[in-house]
Structure 1
């Protein structure tokens, strides 16, 4: 099957978690908006296409299926791409972990947009500094400790009994946090040895390595979920 991924052009965002799974599995897919522009997804968002109605991208078209929400898309792709261990228990646990990553992404986003999505960062900078401080000091260590424990309870190297889409997503989380909060990540470095090692191994997987070196990998920038504003990463 050839998959069609719909997501905003020019940013990694939540679509990147799906791209990593498709790339790692060498799946046949097309990043539709990058070929046809963001207008390509509007008929789906406006209910002009058959199938499920997405609220927002990313969404995936697989045959006649239209699947939205990152965690749901990955839950669908996981068994089909060999990116989740077999068995209902493993599939549900993977979904649970991916949903927790979704929670983390929402909190990362709110560090630079704590008041309203429709306002520019510059219009909420003061509130963003307060939100980012709470995230750096309280929420970030808590999330990283949780996922460190997940790896420890697994086999010490992966979230589940073998390589899965959750590992790919944790790589993206670590990479994004390194970009957005380099100082904060440096301060918690010693408390996340398994996560750091996992991220290094994922980066060296042949298909992922080739993807990261290709123009298909959009660089981190100031329009995605992970944004680097030095004042939000300051300990002052």
Structure 2
């Protein structure tokens, strides 16, 4: 039975972190909403699961994954479940908890990146909070990006198995997620991250190495990959971008 991934159509969003793992592993999966939202079929199925009164433990929001009768919500939780099955988990069991902690830290930064363009309320349009967004985005560039990225760079540098992978001595889902985080930030803040490779050479090398992995490269060139856009988590608004201090 194919795995079923549920996420909003037209968005990379948090679902992209799951897609990258599935694509790297060439897993048998279907994205339920894609290609069906014009008739409302896929979206309706997703909303029905979220609002079901009969489904035990329904998910609060996408992304969520169905594997047979099992429904798994939250990006990090989905990846923690999938990674051993996709051969994307560290081989040492104790390191799987390290990987999960790093994935949760990535999720923290994704939330902060989202809040640069929606600092006051998710329900308001960006145009209704532009002044606050500019303040939030510039603080994110000056303080939060360096804090997170310096930490991730240090994790790579101090990996006992070498600085090629985030955890252990082989590719894991955390490496794929780090690629997506960096890729999104490069799209959203190209001026601020113009010298990203100089400041964080190991992270830049990791991003570039994932980019050319055969399965990832094929996915990025396919119609399955949704382009970055201004309805997503990572958005490029020129007025929010600035050269890093």
Tell me if both proteins adopt one fold, taking TM over 0.5 as the criterion.
Answer: yes
Q: Does 1:156 align with 2:163?
A: yes
- Cα deviation for residue 159 of structure 1 reads 0.4
Query: Counterparts of 1:148 and 1:8 in 2: how far apart (Å)?
Result: 32
**SS class of match (2:129):** helix
**SS class of match (2:4):** strand
Higher helix share: 1
Alpha-carbon displacement from aligned partner over 1:152-199 (angstroms, at most 9, x marks no partner): 122111001111000000000111011000011114431110111111
- Cα deviation for residue 110 of structure 1 reads 0.4
Q: Which structure 2 segments of 5+ residues have no match?
A: 38-42
- Cα deviation for residue 53 of structure 1 reads 1.2
Aligned 1:140-151 pairs, distance under 5 A:
140-151=145-156
Alpha-carbon displacement from aligned partner over 1:137-156 (angstroms, at most 9, x marks no partner): 00001111111111112211
Aligned to 1:94: 99
Aligned to 1:112: 117
- Cα deviation for residue 55 of structure 1 reads 0.8
Aligned 1:171-210 pairs, distance under 5 A:
171-210=179-218
**SS class of match (2:192):** helix
- Runs of 4+ aligned structure 1 residues displaced above 4 Å come to none
Contact 1:52 1:67 in 2 (8 A): no
TM normalised by structure 2 equals 0.93
- Cα deviation for residue 235 of structure 1 reads 4.2
Q: Which structure 1 segments of 5+ residues have no match?
A: none
RMSD: 1.3
Aligned 1:14-25 pairs, distance under 5 A:
14-25=14-25
Q: Does 1:10 align with 2:39?
A: no
- Cα deviation for residue 133 of structure 1 reads 0.8
Aligned to 1:29: 29
Change over 3 Å in CA distance of 1:132–1:33 after alignment to 2:
same
- Cα deviation for residue 48 of structure 1 reads 4.6
